[in-house]
Structure 1
Amino acid sequence: MTIEAYYDSPKMLKRLHEGPLGAHIDLFAARLLREGHCRQGAWRNLRVACDFSHWLARKRLELDDINEQSIEEYQEFRRRYRCPFLSDRPALIRLLGLLREIDAIPAKPPFALDELEQVVQDFDRYLIQERGLARVSAVRHVPFARQFLREHCLSGYPQITSLTGSDVMTFVERHARDHSPQSAKHMCSAIRAFMRFLQYRGYIAADLASCVPGVRAWQLTSLPTYLLPDQVQTVLNGCDRHTPVGRRDYAI
């Protein structure tokens, strides 16, 4: 089974087969089909793989350069210039595993987790084993914790123990508008849980969870609070004052 199971547009098919990953995109599509991914989920997997392939080409990178580090660099690019989904990283890790299975890229070298990643994995276990969260909920929390640590604690434990409420506020203010208001609410919930975890484990003494602000997600918040004069005139000009309905709309 090839990529045509999900796409029939010649233009999209051509784009999917471009870049260093183009020769393996059909195999990736077949894997998604066997695993039973829904069409929307498969599209997201394939689109992020396609975008990753074009990013590799722009960076003049080849298949041998694909590893966890290159995926992390691409994820940073995606956070800056795309609208990423939470499913992006799992899709890329799934692709990485497939490429290693067929020996298209070097095997994963043995390595010890760095301090920050150990904290993130401990947080993941804490959410499931001690908080009783479902796996799907933990998966949504962990990326925000990882991102927070990468931005504020690159030196490891010393910076974690010296975190302040200002660090928490800065992170939330910086990323609250990255996605939708609902996603921003999820981010705040994840950071609150992470701050409680850090205090529970003894990394920090203060209750920094209380420093995480709330994010409003009211309906219709995307609508403008006012119209400019020329916009008002455009609305008025759209009312047909020769009809009763038009006169009513104009009066309103």
Structure 2
Amino acid sequence: MIKAATVEHASHRAMVVGASRGIGLGLVHALLARGWQVTATVRDSARMPQALAELQTQYDAALEIVELDLADAARPAQLAASLGVQALNLLVISAGIMGPDHQRAEQAGQKETGELFDLNAMAPLRLARALLPAMASHGVIGFVSSRMGSVSLNDSGDRELYRASKAALNSLTRGFAVNEAIPAGVGVLNLHPGWVQTDMGGVDAPVTVEQSVTGLADVLEGALGRLEQRFVDFEGQTLSW
């Protein structure tokens, strides 16, 4: 059970993109428990996860659930228009996929690599760019990346397609942070959640969802008001790009 922190954020509003399961769902729970007003996005509202529906019942008006398909290029602008200006203090984009099982560049076709790089790198940037006007001054945009997106820390070379997609996310968000977000008064975090016990991470992962999201929530709250971009893990440790 995620416990509420002592600091209340009733006047603060967060959006968590990709809240159907795993880290996104866990972050919604963690932020609600800390007193945040949370907007959670799901790909298909007709297939609402039971855990998210239970949070809706528990937290009532503190939780809003909206439909967002990152593959729909028109949806970010529509969502931004519905929010208004400076409506969010925190935006966390956690959606992503592992890609093909083979994870080999020479075996990959344009369709599967196109889907992988679009969902893991380009779609998060499109969404963040569209929602930047909805971010309040001194807010934070957090992109759930991965240590596997670090070029300097890649000492094994496994899962090369997934690594490349997360490296692309880190690269794309760098330009966004320097040229757009920070000048607008918004900080940017690229977040490594750890190797987590999710559908993607598997049962052998050493970090529980609760451990990961508790740490991520601490890092995100601690970044409010800091006009910089950092690549950090769920324990707040800085990672090499």
TM-score, L = length of structure 2: 0.24
Q: Highest Rg: 1 or 2?
A: 1
Q: As a proportion of its length, which structure holds more helix?
A: 1
TM-score, L = length of structure 1: 0.23
